[in-house]
Amino acid sequence: MRQIDNFINGEFVASSVGRRFEKRSPVDNRVIASIAEAGQPEVDQAVTAAKRALTGEWGKLATNERVDLLYQVADEITRRFDDFVDAEMADTGQPQHVMSQVFIPRGAANFKVFADIIKNVPTESFHMDTPDGRGALNYGVRVPKGVIGVVAPWNAPFLLMTWKVGPALACGNTVVVKPSEESPLTATLLGEVMNKVGIPKGVYNVINGFGPDSAGEFLTRHKDVDAITFTGETRTGSAIMKAASDGIRDVSFEMGGKNAGIVFADCDFDKAIDGIFRSAFLNTGQVCLGTERVYVERPAFDRFVAALKEKVENVKFGRPTDNGVNYGPLISQEHRQKVLSYYAKAKEDGATIVTGGGVPEMPGELAEGAWVQPTIWTDLQESSAVIQEEIFGPCCHIRPFDTEEEVIELANASDYGLSTTIWTDNLTRAHRVAAKVDVGITWVNSWFLRDLRTAFGGAKTSGIGREGGVHSLEFYTEMRNVCIKM
Ligand code: NAD
Ligand code: 6OD
């Protein structure tokens, strides 16, 4: 069993109050790690270390030197690739190929891409006319914002944590990371990488624990945390925003979604089936960008439902490293209860269960894991909680539509506004619909195709602010203007 401590000022430290909590495997519910819970003293130490590091060796590095170090972080992650894949698989129970092809390589890329951006992006400059005819020159200077509190979720732990730590460090900040209590392993491993490549002490810190009245709240309430970047549930964002208002700290929030998939009858049918299958069931449906509402143009509806059903019924359950496995458990028993409560609600609300709807029979030790069947429903009213609320599980509802106007209205009838995926061979229509769907990210004939230079974030209750490319620099730096009279 792994012993996981907090990582503060370059050292692994236990909890001063001696509190530890257990991490259980989603696959079979065995205890796989004992985690030291950070109390207020550890959070104070981590924030103090981060603040001190801003003016120490780290704060004195030239941009090029900082960029070189971040490249070394990425290279060391790649060198220890298998350790990261193993740790992430242990935490999430998700198939090995998802970790090794998507989540861990993206973690390494998050350091390189933002190092490149900070090196290459210019700041603004304006020449200004003045009454004496000599003019003035204005130019922008970017400075780090300071100590950044990073609060991360469990669904793609390493990708989502480094997506914030990478740009924060590239901009010269220091960070205190609070990984999810469900997925602490890779954030801890990254501490070893930071030490190995010589990132100065205090630049990267990790405190473990829960949200309210624990490490999450202690961090977000801390007066020396200058800005908070958070990914997680919208309800949690609301609590963090209240904490951040004390001291008027800046926030960047990436939160929940109830994303619509829109399938027009003129699409490439097989590609649409593959795309919607991935968007609804990858990572056992635990992707914020995932599709839980699918709208299919009526002429293609029956064929679409039948084809998606067939694909879903062919998923292979099993341990992450078992041959051919492409479907894992949910993250925890607690999350399984939540997902199953929506399965029950769908029944209660009169859904037709096309496939799934329950708990699969798993052999041996796997019977103790957090497994649920991938599920498709039809025939629910749009007002059902199953259609309105984020379930964050392997399930979707499919409904037919007749006109473009109707489907746009259906897609927008949500408090959330994170992403959408549109399937059509009519590009004119794709542009038209994309412009009208009220979300932060629209994919056409694709899903989760990510260019890290693009703006990422949600509309409505799905987020505040954008990260990615230069947008990350907007959040992770303070822009100063210098005006020089000629
Ligand atoms: P969560 O909100 O329960 O927890 C996220 C993090 O916040 C955890 O580290 C948790 O300990 C911490 N936390 C909880 N309460 C807190 C509090 N009061 N103060 C400070 N910290 C607190 O979310 P989750 O269950 O870990 O993740 C799933 C959610 O994340 C889903 O809603 C999903 O849509 C969302 N998500 C969004 C994006 C995006 O980019 N928009 C990406 C991934 C996940
Ligand atoms: O790709 C990303 O940068 C990103 N933030 C993905 C979010 C996935 C949500 O589950």
Of all residues in the chain, the percent with pLDDT exceeding 70 is 100
Whether the per-residue pLDDT at 222 is higher than 90: the answer is yes
Whether residue 243 is found in the same domain as residue 264: no
Split at pLDDT 50, 70, 90, the class of 168 is very high
Whether residue 433 is found in the same domain as residue 469: no
Query: Is residue 295 included in any domain, yes or no?
Result: yes
Query: Is residue 40 included in any domain, yes or no?
Result: yes
Query: Is residue 233 included in any domain, yes or no?
Result: yes
> Which mutation among 160, 233, 286 tests ligand 1's pocket best, with the greatest number of atoms within 8 A of CB?
233
Whether the per-residue pLDDT at 343 is higher than 90: the answer is yes
Query: Is residue 249 included in any domain, yes or no?
Result: yes
Q: Residue with the nearest Cα to atom 3 of ligand 2?
A: 163
Q: Show the tokens assigned to 356.
A: 């799934």
CATH number, domain with residue 29? 3.40.605.10
Split at pLDDT 50, 70, 90, the class of 67 is very high
Query: Is residue 456 included in any domain, yes or no?
Result: no
Residue 384 lies in domain: 259-451
Of all residues in the chain, the percent with pLDDT exceeding 90 is 99
Whether residue 105 is found in the same domain as residue 130: yes
Give the span between the Cα atoms of 384 and 303, in whole angstroms. Answer: 25
Query: Is residue 457 included in any domain, yes or no?
Result: no
Q: Which residues are catalytic?
A: 254, 288
Domains held by the chain: number = 2
pLDDT at 399: 98
Whether residue 176 is found in the same domain as residue 296: no
The number of C-alpha atoms within 13 Å of 130 and in the hemisphere containing its C-beta is: 12
Tell me the pLDDT tens digit for each residue of 92-141: 999 999 999 999 999 999 999 999 999 999 999 999 999 999 999 999 99
Cα dihedral 191→197→203→204 (10° resolution): -20
Closest CA to 193 of 209, 206, 183: 206
Whether the per-residue pLDDT at 5 is higher than 90: the answer is yes
Q: If you compute the radius of gyration of the chain from its CA atoms, what whole number of angstroms results?
A: 23
Nearest-atom index, ligand 1, CA of 235 = 2
Whether residue 343 is found in the same domain as residue 408: yes
The whole model's pTM is what?
0.97
Query: Is residue 470 included in any domain, yes or no?
Result: yes
Split at pLDDT 50, 70, 90, the class of 17 is confident
Q: Which residues contact 70 (CB under 8 A, 6 or more apart)?
A: 111, 112, 114, 115, 166, 169, 170
Whether residue 158 is found in the same domain as residue 287: no
Mean pLDDT across 435-442: 98
Whether residue 47 is found in the same domain as residue 106: yes
Q: Residue with the nearest Cα to atom 8 of ligand 1?
A: 180
Whether residue 238 is found in the same domain as residue 387: no
**Ligand 2 neighbour 447 (Cβ under 6 A):** no
**Ligand 2 neighbour 279 (Cβ under 6 A):** no
**Ligand 2 neighbour 287 (Cβ under 6 A):** yes
Mean pLDDT across 320-344: 97
Whether residue 363 is found in the same domain as residue 227: no
**Cross-strand pairs, 250:** 227
CATH number, domain with residue 367? 3.40.309.10
Give the span between the Cα atoms of 476 and 250, in whole angstroms. Answer: 10
Whether residue 192 is found in the same domain as residue 271: no
Tell me the pLDDT tens digit for each residue of 34-53: 999 999 999 999 999 999 99
Whether residue 435 is found in the same domain as residue 286: yes
* Cα 160 to ligand 2 centroid, rounded to whole Å: 6
Whether residue 156 is found in the same domain as residue 305: no
Nearest-atom index, ligand 1, CA of 219 = 20
> Which mutation among 231, 282, 453, 467 tests ligand 2's pocket best, with the greatest number of atoms within 8 A of CB?
231
Give the span between the Cα atoms of 336 and 51, in whole angstroms. Answer: 39
Nearest-atom index, ligand 1, CA of 462 = 41
